[in-house]
Amino acid sequence: MLIEKYRKTIEACRFCPMCKIACTVGNITKNEANYPRGKVLILFTILKKMREFDEDVVERIYQCAICGLCKNWCISDYDIPELITAARADIVNSGKTPPRVLEIYENIKKTGNPYAMINDNEEISAVLDKEIRKIGKRVKILYFIGDTVFSHPEIFEATIRILNHAGINFTILSKENRSVELLYQLGFHKEAERLAKENAKVINETECEVIVTSDADEYLAFKRDYPRLGASLNSDIKIIHTTEYINLLLQENKLSFSREINKSVTYHDPSSLGRYLGVYEDPREVIQVIPGVKFKEMKWNKDKARCCGASGGLLFTNPEIAAKAAENVIDEAIEIGAEIITTASPLCKQSLIKHKEKLQRNSVEVYDITELIEKTM
C-alpha cells in the first residue's frame, strides 16, 4: 500500500488533535472522523489490518479538501494531504473506488472534464478558431487552457484578450490538452500519468519556452505532479500562472487600463496556488494596480486562507460540504465589506458562484482576476 510510505506521518498524527481548528471539512461536519486525527487514525487501523477500505472508510477519505491547512498549521509539517492522496490511490488500486468518484472519472475520460460538459459548443469554438495557432508554430509562449478552464470560457477568453492586448505572440494547444490534477487528487494516478505524458509530448512539440496557465490546479500539476509521474517537459520550459504573467506584463508596461473599478475587492487564495506553490503576492499586486480598486484582505488570507471547497475533488464528491466551505469564504468577504471576490482558479470560482442567491443578496460579485483585468482594458 502507498500509505505505508507515510507511516511516520500516520504514527505522529493518529492521536494528535492540534490542527483541529484548521480543518476545512471537520469544522463543517464536526465529525471527529473528518478531522486529520480521525482520518489518520482510520488509516492506522487499515495499516494494522483492523479494517479494510470498506465503503464507510472510503467515504471519509474522500471527505477531505486536501487543502493543506492542517499541514500549514502543524509546526512539524506532517503532510496529511500527501497521505490522503496516497490513501485514495490505494483505494483506486484496490478497486474500491466509490460510485460518485468513479462517475467523475468516467466524465473526465469521456469529455475531459468532471461535469461531463461537451467542449464543442459553437461559441467557444469560434473564439478558439480565431485564436488557435497550429501546434508546431514556434512561439515562445504557450497558453495552456486545460479542461477545467475550458468549462469556463469567460476565463480563457479574458486571458486571450489580455495576451492580445499586450501584443504577446502565443500559441494554444488544441482541445485535447487535459487536466491532470483532479485525477491525481482523486487517486487515479495511472490515468493522471497517461494524460500528463500525453500533454508533455504535445507541449514539448511546440518547443515553447513558457507555459502560462489560468488553472491553479494544473499549475500545481505541472510543477509537482508531472515530475512525479514521469511526464517530462523540456527542461528549459518555465511554467507560470496567469496572475504571475500579468504582473510581469504590468511591470513591463505592456498592459494599460482605460476604465476604473470603483469597488472594494478581496482575493481568495486557491490552495494550490497559495499554500502549495507560495504564489501570494502576484495576484494581490495585479489587483491593486487596477485603477479605482480598494483592496481588502480577508481575515484568513495567504497561507491561512480558508479553503472554498473546490480542492481535493470535494466540489464533486461532496458538494454539500464544499458548498458550506464556499459559504464560509463568502461570509468572510461580506464581513469585510468586499463587493468583489477575485480568485485565480476556475474551480474556486465555480465553488463560490454556486451561492448565487447569497451573492446577489449581498451585492457581491465573483471573478477570476483575468476577468477583472479584462473589464478595465
- The distance of closest approach from Cβ of residue 78 to another protein in the complex, given in angstroms and rounded to an integer, is 7
Task: Report in angstroms the alpha-carbon separations of 82 from 87, 225, 236, 377.
Answer: 9, 12, 27, 41
Task: Report in angstroms the alpha-carbon separations of 278 from 67, 84, 229, 303, 307.
Answer: 13, 21, 22, 8, 15
Applying CB under 8 A, the span of 17-25, 281-289, 350-358, 368-376 interacting with another protein comes to: 17-25
The one among 60, 152, 268, 355 contacting another protein by CB under 8 A:
60
The one among 69, 74, 84, 250 contacting another protein by CB under 8 A:
74
- Nearer to another protein (CB atom), residue 12 or residue 248: 12
Applying CB under 8 A, the span of 40-48, 156-164, 190-198, 284-292 interacting with another protein comes to: 40-48
- The distance of closest approach from Cβ of residue 48 to another protein in the complex, given in angstroms and rounded to an integer, is 5
DSSP conformational letter for 132: P
Q: Please give the distance of CA 162 from its chain centroid, rounded to a whole number.
A: 21
Residue 56 engages another protein in binding (rule: CB under 8 A): yes
Residue 54 engages another protein in binding (rule: CB under 8 A): yes
- The distance of closest approach from Cβ of residue 263 to another protein in the complex, given in angstroms and rounded to an integer, is 24
At a CB cut-off of 8 Å and minimum separation 6, what does 17 contact? 35, 37
In this structure, the strands spanning 340-343 and 264-268 are: parallel
Coil, strand, or helix at residue 367?
Answer: strand
The one among 41, 117, 132, 135 contacting another protein by CB under 8 A:
41
- Nearer to another protein (CB atom), residue 20 or residue 294: 20
- H-only helix segments in 151-225: 153-165, 181-186, 189-206, 216-220
Binding pattern to another protein, positions 297-336, x when CB under 8 A?
----------------------------------------
- Nearer to another protein (CB atom), residue 58 or residue 326: 58
- By C-alpha distance, which of 316, 270, 264, 288 is closest to 107? 316
CA 171, 173, 175, 179 dihedral sign is negative
Can you tell me the distance from the alpha carbon of 252 to that of 79, in angstroms, rounded to the nearest whole number?
Answer: 38
- Nearer to another protein (CB atom), residue 57 or residue 279: 57
Can you tell me the distance from the alpha carbon of 322 to that of 28, in angstroms, rounded to the nearest whole number?
Answer: 9
Under rule CB under 8 A, which residues in 129-168 are in contact with another protein?
Answer: none
- The distance of closest approach from Cβ of residue 82 to another protein in the complex, given in angstroms and rounded to an integer, is 16
Task: Report in angstroms the alpha-carbon separations of 347 from 72, 131, 318, 367.
Answer: 21, 24, 14, 12
Residue 57 engages another protein in binding (rule: CB under 8 A): yes
Q: What is the dihedral of CA 256, 261, 267, 273, to 10 degrees?
A: -20
- Nearer to another protein (CB atom), residue 45 or residue 362: 45
- Nearer to another protein (CB atom), residue 41 or residue 117: 41
Applying CB under 8 A, the span of 32-40, 208-216, 250-258, 305-313 interacting with another protein comes to: 32-40
The one among 1, 2, 44, 353 contacting another protein by CB under 8 A:
44
Residue 230 engages another protein in binding (rule: CB under 8 A): no
The one among 3, 19, 326, 348 contacting another protein by CB under 8 A:
19
- Nearer to another protein (CB atom), residue 30 or residue 130: 30
Residue 31 engages another protein in binding (rule: CB under 8 A): yes
- Cell numbers 491525481 label which residue? 184
CB 272 within 8 A of CB 308: no
- By C-alpha distance, which of 116, 42, 126 is closest to 84? 42
Q: Which residues bind another protein (CB under 8 A)?
A: 11-22, 29-33, 37-38, 41-42, 44-45, 48-51, 54, 56-57, 59-60, 73-76, 78
